[in-house]
Amino acid sequence: MPQIISTAQSMSKNLNIPKYAPPAFHLLAKPTGAICNLDCAYCFFLDKEVLYPGSQFHMSNDLLETYIRQLIESHQTDHVTIAWQGGEPTLMGLDFYRKAVTLAEQYCRPEMSLEHTLQTNGTLLDDAWCAFFKENNFLIGISIDGPRALHDTYRVDKGGGPTFDRVMRGLRLLQKHDVEYNILTAVNRVNADHPLEVYRFLRDEAGADWIQFIPVVERINSDGRTLYQEGNTVSDRSVLPDQFGRFLNLIFDEWVQHDVGNIFVQTFEATLRNWLGMPSSGMCVFNETCGLGVALEHNGDLYSCDHYVEPDYLLGNIHQDHMIKLVSSPKQQQFGLDKQNKLPQYCLNCDVRFACHGECPKNRFTASPEGEPGLNYLCEGLQRFFHHVDYPMKIMAGLIQRGYPAEQVMEILSLEKTRWQALFDQTGRNDLCPCGSGQKFKHCHGRWPVNEGLGIPNKPAPFSGDR
């Protein structure tokens, strides 16, 4: 072991780190390329198979070692995440990942900590896989789109058959072996109409305490495929903008009243970080710039982003050029800066720009109300969400800044609801709404019961003496 450590230190010292190289970055490695044992209807990556005609879609042992070595060498920080995705990465077999872990330990510098992650559909997991994950402290992402009927709408196998039972079997094996996991849910045109059913299933039945909600936005190319980020129309599987906003809002209302501190929803965590003015939201789509999340194909090709695995965004191949050279190249730097520099004026003037930053560039294919191109397809829904959560986010941000736990927001909102209910009970249908909107009560907060959603306006409830 001392000789191995010495070799690893020597390699790192001999590497010429480019001047503008980031100290750290996130790389998604795809050892099977686009190959998967399922045939999910909305999967944006399955079409990528045509980019590599005749390929076996199997990362070689030589490339595996090159990847692990270069990834560790490239990091100037004490923590490195080794992330696997697909396709379906478990198709590589368990021995491949045993070798990956061994190589990572071989090249790891003494002061460095490693985190192994893997995103899977869960259908191929067994006790051996899960014991390995637990032994090596893997974080597993497993894809579940909600309860059976909603999950099986689009997440089907190669024969078009349902996958829910196989996925849940995989989840239960992860839980049996006490493997750390999170759940990724693709929000599509169907399950987006059932936000609370999805959320409560993930929380209560699946036992999730960390959830990612990823909007399905499939751009239809001129040839009818979804191979490239081109085209101004979307598939009928794609979530609608306002539908996505309502999906997030209803789940947020459930979460902020009952689950803060126990359930972590990535979108809500990132939003709070932006309300706090932190340097990073933790989600690339809600950061001011991007470019620090690259994708490695099975043959060593490195691309600007997982969503831009297409020829125009190929940075090079790590067999020919070290990955840190590619990640810090002018082409990749420009890719990251374009997220900020190509915002339309409508975004620059938006009151929630600090929270959204135009979301993901892949979704910027609609026009602003003034006709300027480059507006995000999801804009309407995202605005609806950020405006909806403003008051609770301010409360949580204030609590954290004063050294209190964010979960105290639940008690504060409960008291607020009680105060507003007392005011509403004293208000006639044709009276002005006490929220200050200037509308009659029957056209404002008299339209729904207080127990629907948050049931409070986005401002503190006045005490009776303040009226």
Catalytic residues: 306
Residue 15 burial (10 A CB sphere; 0-12, 13-18, 19+): middle
Q: Indicate if the alpha-carbon torsion angle 94, 96, 101, 102 is positive or negative.
A: positive
Residues constituting the chain:
467
CA–CA gap between residue 215 and residue 350 (Å, rounded): 21
CA–CA gap between residue 282 and residue 265 (Å, rounded): 12
Query: Torsions phi, psi of 212, nearest 5?
Result: -110, 130
| In contact, 387 and 241? CB cutoff 8 Å | no
Q: Which of 159, 81, 86 is nearest to 122 (CA)?
A: 86
CA–CA gap between residue 155 and residue 48 (Å, rounded): 18
State how beta strands 26-29 and 79-84 pair.
parallel
CA–CA gap between residue 173 and residue 130 (Å, rounded): 7
| In contact, 8 and 107? CB cutoff 8 Å | yes
447-452, Cβ contacts within 8 angstroms, sequence gap of 24 or more:
450/417, 450/420, 450/421, 450/424
**66 residue type, one letter:** T
In the numeric block, which tokens belong to residue 57?
């879609």
**What residues pair up with 84 in beta bridges, in sequence order?**
29, 118
